[in-house]
């Protein structure tokens, strides 16, 4: 039988299959091979003396270690236009991690009734990243976000106070949770339990219950080496192979096609500035230490 793991805690894996929901154990071979089934894994399982046992983990599209989650399709970054002010360096770090992990990044700006969102949204729209604007009070824009997540496994993340809980309430009323309950279930703090759970949506797809930004630790668990970083900036890609030097770092070299594109306005300057800051940090990382 085939299914998807919707909850993993204490060595027990809750698997949702067309035939029903089963509490499964995993074969010992996984631990022997250094592999653990993760929430979001598509698996094959069978019955051993009436006990469901996971026999095989199917190929994964993506994996993140903290929080432990497989096959995430979309990572939604919720950013407020004010109170708190957008931290574009932090946002760009997480977008890079999403790209590195083969996960589609989506940016949602909230509190659009209080501050002009266009200077921020224009940056990411220019890069080809999906951007939405939502007024959590009126609910305007929530339906567009919902359509983008149809039949996908998605996770929402954002700093405290950006309106993530209200956004989830507007998009997925079928969760039938009060805002503070959503905050607890879908935005846990760093001092509480870290297990992940998938919530099935009425129209198709799942929402992953994950910790917020503070627990999604790019530096410790999702290291991007300097030679891999440029590939994580999608707007740089059309200019690859056009630089004067083959090993161009796209930070300061003469004849760099990426820098020329920044000067011409084809790449937003804030994105390139943040790339340079991230590159400087990545220069101190050693590949053997990462391994």
Say how far apart CA 111 and CA 79 lie, in whole Å.
9
pTM of the model: 0.84
Say how far apart CA 42 and CA 56 lie, in whole Å.
9
CATH of 224-290, picked from 3.40.50.970, 2.30.40.10, 1.10.40.50, 3.30.390.50, is 1.10.40.50
pLDDT at 226 over 60: yes
Q: What is the DSSP string of 212-236?
A: -GGGS-HHHHS---HHHHGGGSGGG
Kind plus residue range of the DSSP H or E element containing 277 = helix 269-282
Total count of residues recorded for the chain: 291
- Quote the Cα angle for 214-119-167, to 5°: 45
Give tens-digit pLDDT for 59-72.
999 998 777 889 99
Class for domain 2-59, per CATH? mainly beta
Say yes or no: do domains 2-59 and 64-218 share a fold. Answer: no
Q: What is the DSSP string of 108-168?
A: EEE-TTTS--HHHHHHHHHTT-EEEE--TTT-TTHHHHHHHTTTSEEEEE--TTSSHHHHH
Say how far apart CA 141 and CA 81 lie, in whole Å.
15
| 8 Å CB contact between 49 and 56 | no
Residue 227: pLDDT band with limits 50, 70, 90: very high
Say how far apart CA 23 and CA 232 lie, in whole Å.
38
Two tokens, residue 274: 């943040």
| 8 Å CB contact between 167 and 142 | yes
pLDDT at 204 over 50: yes
Two tokens, residue 15: 């698997």
| 8 Å CB contact between 141 and 132 | yes
Start-to-end CA span in the chain (Å): 35
Q: What are phi and psi of 45, to 5 degrees?
A: -140, 160
Give tens-digit pLDDT for 174-196.
665 544 554 455 444 443 445 67
Give tens-digit pLDDT for 61-111.
999 877 788 999 999 998 888 877 888 998 999 899 999 999 999 999 988
**Residue ranges of the domains in the chain?**
2-59, 64-218, 224-290
What architecture is domain 64-218?
Answer: 3-Layer(aba) Sandwich (3.40)
| 8 Å CB contact between 19 and 1 | yes
Question: Residue 222: what pLDDT?
Answer: 67
């Amino acid at each position: 039988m085939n299914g998807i793991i919707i909850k993993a805690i204490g060595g027990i894996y809750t698997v949702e299959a067309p035939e029903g929901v089963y509490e499964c154990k995993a074969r010992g071979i996984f631990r022997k091979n250094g592999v653990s089934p993760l929430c979001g894994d598509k698996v094959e399982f069978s019955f051993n003396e009436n006990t469901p046992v996971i026999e095989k983990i199917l190929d994964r599209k993506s994996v993140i270690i903290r929080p432990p989650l497989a096959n995430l399709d979309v990572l939604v970054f919720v950013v407020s236009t004010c109170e708190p002010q957008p931290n574009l360096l932090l946002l760009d770090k997480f977008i890079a991690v999403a790209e590195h992990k083969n996960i589609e990044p989506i940016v949602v700006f909230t509190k659009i009734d209080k501050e002009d969102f266009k200077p921020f949204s224009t940056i990411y729209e220019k890069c080809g990243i999906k951007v939405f604007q939502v007024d959590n009070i009126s609910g305007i824009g929530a339906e567009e976000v919902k359509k983008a997540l149809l039949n996908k496994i998605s996770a929402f993340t954002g700093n405290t106070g950006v309106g993530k809980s209200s956004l989830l309430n507007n998009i997925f009323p079928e969760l039938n949770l009060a805002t503070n309950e959503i905050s607890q279930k879908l935005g846990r703090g760093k001092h509480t339990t870290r297990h992940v759970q998938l919530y099935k949506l009425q129209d198709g797809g799942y929402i992953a219950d994950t910790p917020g930004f503070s627990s999604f630790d790019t530096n410790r668990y999702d290291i991007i080496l300097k030679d891999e970083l440029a590939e994580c900036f999608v707007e740089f890609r059309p200019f690859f192979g056009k630089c004067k030097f083959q090993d161009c770092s796209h930070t300061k070299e003469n004849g760099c096609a990426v820098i020329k594109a920044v000067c011409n306005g084809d790449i937003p300057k804030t994105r390139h500035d943040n790339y340079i800051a991230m590159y400087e940090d990545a220069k101190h990382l050693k590949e053997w230490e990462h391994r």
